[in-house]
Amino acid sequence: MAQVEKRGGLLRKSSASKKPLKEKVVLMYDEIFMTEDPSKCSPRFWEELFLMKVNLEYLEGKLESLDGEELMQMKDNVNCLFQHCIQALGEEHPIRVVNALQTLCALIRGVHQKNKSTSGFDIINMLMGFDKAELCMKNLMESLDSLLCAEGSESLKSLCLKLLLCLVTVTDNISQNTILEYVMINSIFEAILQILSHPPSRREHGYDAVVLLALLVNYRKYESVNPYIVKLSIVDDEATLNGMGLVITQALSEYNRQYKDKEEEHQSGFFSALTNMVGSMFIADAPEKISVQTNEAILLALYEAVHLNRNFITVLAQSHPEMGLVTTPVRPTPPTPVTPLGTTPPSSDVISSVELSLDADVQTSNLLIAFLKYSSIVMQDTKDEHRLHSGKLCLIILTCIAEPMRHRKKAADKNIPCRPLVCAVLDLMVEFIVTHMMKEFPMDLYVRCVQVVHKLLCYQKKCRVRLHYTWRELWSALINLLKFLMSNETVLLAKHNIFALALMIVNLFNMFITYGDTFLPTPSSYDELYYEIIRMHQSFDNLYSMVLRLSTNAGQWKEAAGKVTHALVNIRAIINHFNPKIESYAAVNHISQLSEEQVLEVVRANYDTLTLKLQDGLDQYERYSEQHKEAAFFKELVRSISTNVRRNLAFHTLSQEALLKEFSTIS
Amino acid sequence: MGDMVVEPATLKPTSDPTASPSGNNGGTLLSVITEGVGELSVIDPEVAQKACQEVLEKVKLLHGGVAISSKGTPLELVNGDGVDSEIRCLDDPPAQIREEEDEMGATVAPGTAKGARRRRQNNSAKQSWLLRLFESKLFDISMAISYLYNSKEPGVQAYIGNRLFCFRNEDVDFYLPQLLNMYIHMDEDVGDAIKPYIVHRCRQSINFSLQCALLLGAYSSDMHISTQRHSRGTKLRKLILSDELKPAHRKRELPSLSPAPDTGLSPSKRTHQRSKSDATASISLSSNLKRTASNPKVENEDEELSSSTESIDNSFSSPVRLAPEREFIKSLMAIGKRLATLPTKEQKTQRLISELSLLNHKLPARVWLPTAGFDHHVVRVPHTQAVVLNSKDKAPYLIYVEVLECENFDTTSVPARIPENRIRSTRSVENLPECGITHEQRAGSFSTVPNYDNDDEAWSVDDIGELQVELPEVHTNSCDNISQFSVDSITSQESKEPVFIAAGDIRRRLSEQLAHTPTAFKRDPEDPSAVALKEPWQEKVRRIREGSPYGHLPNWRLLSVIVKCGDDLRQELLAFQVLKQLQSIWEQERVPLWIKPYKILVISADSGMIEPVVNAVSIHQVKKQSQLSLLDYFLQEHGSYTTEAFLSAQRNFVQSCAGYCLVCYLLQVKDRHNGNILLDAEGHIIHIDFGFILSSSPRNLGFETSAFKLTTEFVDVMGGLNGDMFNYYKMLMLQGLIAARKHMDKVVQIVEIMQQGSQLPCFHGSSTIRNLKERFHMSMTEEQLQLLVEQMVDGSMRSITTKLYDGFQYLTNGIM
């Protein structure tokens, strides 16, 4: 902005006197901010206005300086300006369109600035006037829609999206932005989808489009029928969904890349070899925290896509050679855009039009991988509030992904070259469990994490998926977590119900014990489970005595602890069954310390005399429900995203100079 | 021979324009043929007949009209009975044949040899012998090809060119490489004789057109570049690719030309349907992904669009009907080229999967796999199943291809695309709250807030129910119920007696269930294909079908193909033909030798496709994965020595071994390491990779001097040197050799014709054919042959070079 004005000033100086003259456009603005109709004396006033370069700073500043009362006095003129802006959007000459779009932005932002507390209706009245608002907004939305869908200039489209983002984020609480009602009625959903499904436009505007969609979906999502929610939930066009996935992947990968770069800066060579996401977890111990601004907006978009659209799950695991475009942006190609998936001229080679980068690191990526990497980075450090939220959102998304019905595709993809992505998810969960046992215990995240594991197990049990996964790591992580809960009983009990978490952990073991035959990879892995339980029997014994103590007291935790007592029945049975056998084996063979192989031998020999109790509902879980549990979280999240987007909205990045150049060739 | 005298009258009506059914047109059509540029006009049986007449006329004139013989059947002008009967009536061989006969005698059938002697005394008798041969039932396509190749007489060549129309398409197809190679590299007369047939068939079948175009390109490539451009082969190729040979106009022109019942004449019944679907093809491949909304109507847009243009189909029909297929092939080749640049197998595999998933977006389209034996459209490439094959510097890869079988490729329309995500919304749009209505409500008053539970709606419970039904896992309700019944029956009640289960049962079920799964190979990043190839084909088909959105269609089929880029498959094709010929010889002679020729599609001189042998893995992979000797592997896979399964696997092994030993000997197949020998699920061995045959051998290190590869491991599987099966093996070889010898000409001919104009390494030197003939040992008695077989087996057994070569391969390529 400053630049713009400075430039304007310079021009003046060279041409005219020393006394700073006002730009013509500023004079015209001043005329608008009178009570009189500016077109009275000059009938071509409005026509001329949109030929002038917009002085955003002045316009916005002027509006901000006025309070509601003052604004109401010149309401007619403001309304008139608004209307003429919309009219200008239909003009043939792109300069007028650009100016109109920028003026609208300034108007909307300016009017809101001083009137934060004013009700949405009053703002609508100020901007458009009640009587004309509906028609006005209808025209605006239609114009934007056609601009976005037309084969027009990319910078124009970009400006349209910026205007929409500006409109959507103008209030802190998106649901209080009453103007959005009109955006609900006059949907631009199809335009957004079209942007996402066309590779050239997706490359240019994909990010804005996805963020806009994510925000729109969150408008009064719990109170009313938001058509964007409805529409998003039924999208099944592959190109569109892939496009959306691609945009999200690119944004997440970009974050991951930045993080990696920073990390490499920080540790010259020491951890440089750590490329896999599990490895990157350990960096939490590194002396200095490496923080890159997290990107909640894109995460929210991912969440909404996964949560609302069940077709989107197929996009998650789809590998995209086009990912290569992340590192080699092909921005300046508007004249003959190559369309990898779209309309290739029949004569040209189908595939060669997509020149893929040969970077091995990039090309193998898919959305889920990018997301897991991102999650692992975010979860490293959950100390500050912001990252805690980001991590929570990651876990919520994982929870949604882990709901069994959504696994169908992943199961079918079992034969992907390396190991299934589920293993990566499990790895991530194990790492999280191991690395977050701290005083500021993130109970909520732990519960989610264990839930994710539980859901994955339920799915595997149901569909008989035998993952070749080293479950032992999970078991020992869970046992360690139990130990941590017990040793910090007093501290933790003051804040959290640790028995709920303990119950979940114990029930995970019960899943393995009772249903292990349906999803364990080998018979020996079942033996190992028993070995692990027997080896760590002290922990279970301690847990049992703790919950027994609390459940017999008539305290606050009686019921919760009681449940854990019940859940421990099989684990205790195993311990009580095998321990004497092992002791006698040791006695008979005169061995003081049995080796693992020997213990396993005892275990194998004594299965048949062990009876277990069948527990109910081990493979049942509460389905994820946003509205009942997470509404407050999302409200807050959307608020912060809105603020962020608003702050980052850079109109001036789209300098008029560039636009002028572009349009001078067109007209 | 009384019937020798020709009655000019019989010929006259045919040469008379007015009498011919296509009379008015006869002149132009004829000229077209003689010029050898049939591009612009239609070649149909009538034309062929005309051409035939023309040739005969010419010959008759040359020889004063005396020598033409007719077997006495006057020419009948049958129109209604279709191609065959029409042409069959024309088999009057020209007089010139007598000169040819002496040369030919030896190569025909043994029976004619006697005739040749007699013919020396009686010219007219000679002539009738050849004529009789041509007319006899014994005269098959193999002989026709042989005469076409050996005869220097245009009349004979033209006659045979016409006789081609009488053979079954499949029979001629087998010799297509020979025909085209002759067309390219031999003199004009042969070319002229062959062309009408080729053009005719191209009109009939798009697949034939493609094969011709590809082969013409590949076999022209050895010519000098300057001559190549103007060669006949290149011209014909251009003609085919320009698509002027499509039968679209036929329908329109015919009625005006000849009102005769043409149902039989028409190469195939075509309707406007074809062009309609052509139009669809061009759309579906080029602008496929334009769909934007999630509206199912959009998906059918292509279809509707094209059907509306049906009336103007000819103007609208795709300019080049081969374009989608060529594009498809090109894409596959491009992938291969790019894979070759990646260093590791794992990267290659991942890249391959990504590339294929991209390719998938363009399917279904009017494309097909030329290696398949039935008409179909390719609908999907299950990209995650594709694997990169073992190769040192190139990147051949194997893909599976889902196709929908159809009755006729041309007339059936391209199947509509079904999106990958089959998790269909069970809630249809109608069930959703009507957005339009709520808009108005909103507009009316902002305050109305219908407390509408969006979240529950989005994931409502009945959705889950329906989805569970859709889950493909068959086991869910089959295997054991014990570990699950708790959920179903007791969940609700806790008051009931507790249910107890035995830990031992859980453990037992686990090991039992795992025991049922068939032995699979472990995943090896260095050898990604091993796992994919080991999986039984039926199992793979079932699995892929389950995962495919098209799997529910009854005409769904799975095909597979190996894409080779950077390899010359012309030798492979030659080997395929020889193998196929030997196979049919052995079948005809009832020798139970087993070989498996696999189909080859030559795309150019350095690319092609191979039909993979299903249910087979290389012996190298077997040994590496199982870490067992071959015999132990047999025992593991098929059961102990006395079981039925083992014995039949052993028999299969012996029969295939004997078959391939003969093949290796006759064709001098080299580079026989364990990576090039497959073992199938029934115990057969299958040799692959015929890159070194006849006169070429790898690196000239003097390795592999033995007649064929026979290791002690092989002998062990056969039951040892003194076993019955080993004797059986030697006996089979003897029988096979005797049978092959009997039909030597049929084998040699295939190779000989392909030598024409070829720069292939297998034809290196001048004695390739002579050596090949010598290996049939025509002069030996059967006793001598038996001795020869003994010697060869003995030699190979003791051959140190075979062992050495395996060691060499292990050192250089890591092949066990």
Per-residue exposure over B253-292, b if at least 16 CB sit within 10 Å of its own CB, e if not: ebeebbeeebebbbbeebebbbbbbbbbbbbbbbbbbbbb
Residue B201 in tokens? 């068939």
Residues whose CB is less than 8 angstroms from the CB of residue A208 and which lie 6 or more positions away in sequence, other chains included: A158, A161, A162, A165
Is pLDDT at B607 greater than 50 in this prediction?
yes
* Cβ neighbour number for residue A248 with a 10 Å cutoff: 28
**Contact A313/B421, CB-based, under 8 Å?**
yes
Looking at chain B, the whole-number percentage of residues with pLDDT higher than 70 is 59
> Does B482 contact A at CB distance below 8 Å?
no
Q: What is the pLDDT of residues A362-385, one digit of tens each?
A: 445 678 888 888 888 888 877 777
CB B398, CB B565: distance < 8 Å? no
> Does B509 contact A at CB distance below 8 Å?
yes
> Does A62 contact B at CB distance below 8 Å?
no
Q: What is the pLDDT of residues A652-664, one digit of tens each?
A: 555 556 666 666 6
The mean per-residue pLDDT over the stretch B13-20 comes to 39
* CA distance to partner chain B, nearest, from residue A398 (Å): 16
**Contact B500/A462, CB-based, under 8 Å?**
no
Q: Which residues of A touch B430 (CB under 8 A)?
A: none
pLDDT at A503: 93
Q: What is the pLDDT of residues A440-492, one digit of tens each?
A: 888 888 999 999 999 888 888 887 778 888 899 999 999 999 999 999 888 88
Least confident of A171-185, B75-89, B729-743: B75-89
Residue B532 in tokens? 């994919």
Residues whose CB is less than 8 angstroms from the CB of residue A403 and which lie 6 or more positions away in sequence, other chains included: A455, A623, A624
pLDDT at A40: 76
pLDDT at B686: 92
pLDDT at A267: 60
pLDDT at A108: 87
Compare CB distances from A413 to B292, B384, B468 and report the shortest one's residue. B384
Is pLDDT at B97 greater than 80 in this prediction?
no
**Contact A417/B350, CB-based, under 8 Å?**
yes
- Please, how many CA atoms are within 13 Å of residue B601, restricted to the half-sphere of its CB? 26
Highest mean pLDDT among B48-52, B149-153, B390-394: B149-153
Residue A315 in tokens? 């996009």
pLDDT bin (cut points 50, 70, 90) of residue A22 is confident
Least confident of B238-252, B279-293, B644-658: B279-293
**Contact B419/A225, CB-based, under 8 Å?**
no
pLDDT at A507: 93
Smallest CA–CA distance from B427 into chain A, residue? A234
pLDDT at B649: 92
pLDDT at B123: 52
pLDDT bin (cut points 50, 70, 90) of residue A192 is very high
pTM of the model: 0.60
pLDDT at B803: 57
B563 bridge partner residues:
B397, B609
The mean per-residue pLDDT over the stretch A334-338 comes to 33
The mean per-residue pLDDT over the stretch A10-17 comes to 45
DSSP, residue by residue, A121-134: HHHHHHHT-HHHHH
Task: Quote the mean pLDDT of chain B.
Answer: 69
CB A410, CB A367: distance < 8 Å? no
> Does B490 contact A at CB distance below 8 Å?
yes
pLDDT at A513: 92
pLDDT at B801: 52
The mean per-residue pLDDT over the stretch B658-666 comes to 91
pLDDT at A214: 93
Is pLDDT at B466 greater than 80 in this prediction?
no
Q: Which residues of B touch A610 (CB under 8 A)?
A: 502-504
> Does A427 contact B at CB distance below 8 Å?
no
> Does A593 contact B at CB distance below 8 Å?
no
Identify the residue with better confidence: B152 or A397.
A397
Q: Which residues of B touch A224 (CB under 8 A)?
A: 438, 442, 449-450, 452
Is pLDDT at B489 greater than 70 in this prediction?
no
**Contact A346/B327, CB-based, under 8 Å?**
yes
Identify the residue with better confidence: B571 or B479.
B571
Residue B31 in tokens? 């000229």
Q: Which residues of A touch B350 (CB under 8 A)?
A: 319, 363-364, 417
Is pLDDT at B663 greater than 80 in this prediction?
yes
**Contact B510/A516, CB-based, under 8 Å?**
yes
pLDDT bin (cut points 50, 70, 90) of residue B577 is very high
Q: Which of B23, B79, B70 is nearest to B50 (CA)?
A: B23
pLDDT bin (cut points 50, 70, 90) of residue B272 is very low
Is pLDDT at A540 greater than 90 in this prediction?
yes
Is pLDDT at B586 greater than 90 in this prediction?
yes
Compare CB distances from A225 to B327, B350, B433 and report the shortest one's residue. B433
Q: What is the pLDDT of residues B753-802, one digit of tens each?
A: 888 888 888 888 778 888 888 888 888 888 888 888 888 888 887 765 55
Is pLDDT at B482 greater than 50 in this prediction?
no
Identify the residue with better confidence: B389 or B433.
B389
The mean per-residue pLDDT over the stretch B570-590 comes to 92
Is pLDDT at A88 greater than 50 in this prediction?
yes
* CA distance to partner chain A, nearest, from residue B285 (Å): 8
- Please, how many CA atoms are within 13 Å of residue B29, restricted to the half-sphere of its CB? 24
**Contact B293/A625, CB-based, under 8 Å?**
no
Is pLDDT at B98 greater than 60 in this prediction?
no
pLDDT at A646: 85
* Cβ neighbour number for residue A138 with a 10 Å cutoff: 15
CB B43, CB B199: distance < 8 Å? yes
Strands, E, within B534-622: which ranges?
556-565, 600-604, 607-610, 616-618
The mean per-residue pLDDT over the stretch A251-271 comes to 74
Class of residue B307 by CB neighbours under 10 A (exposed 0-12, middle 13-18, buried 19+): middle
Mutate one of A225, A343, A518 to test the B interface: name it (highest B CB count within 10 A). Answer: A225
Is pLDDT at B8 greater than 60 in this prediction?
no
Is pLDDT at A578 greater than 70 in this prediction?
yes
Identify the residue with better confidence: B239 or B581.
B581
Smallest CA–CA distance from B439 into chain A, residue? A185
Compare CB distances from A237 to B291, B459, B471 and report the shortest one's residue. B291
Task: Quote the mean pLDDT of chain A.
Answer: 78
Compare CB distances from A350 to B331, B439, B546 and report the shortest one's residue. B331
Mutate one of A131, A202, A310 to test the B interface: name it (highest B CB count within 10 A). Answer: A310
Smallest CA–CA distance from A528 into chain B, residue? B507
Q: What is the pLDDT of residues B279-295, one digit of tens each?
A: 344 333 333 333 333 33
Count contacts between A and B (CB, < 8 Å). 279
Looking at chain A, the whole-number percentage of residues with pLDDT higher than 70 is 80
Compare CB distances from B503 to A352, A520, A610 and report the shortest one's residue. A610
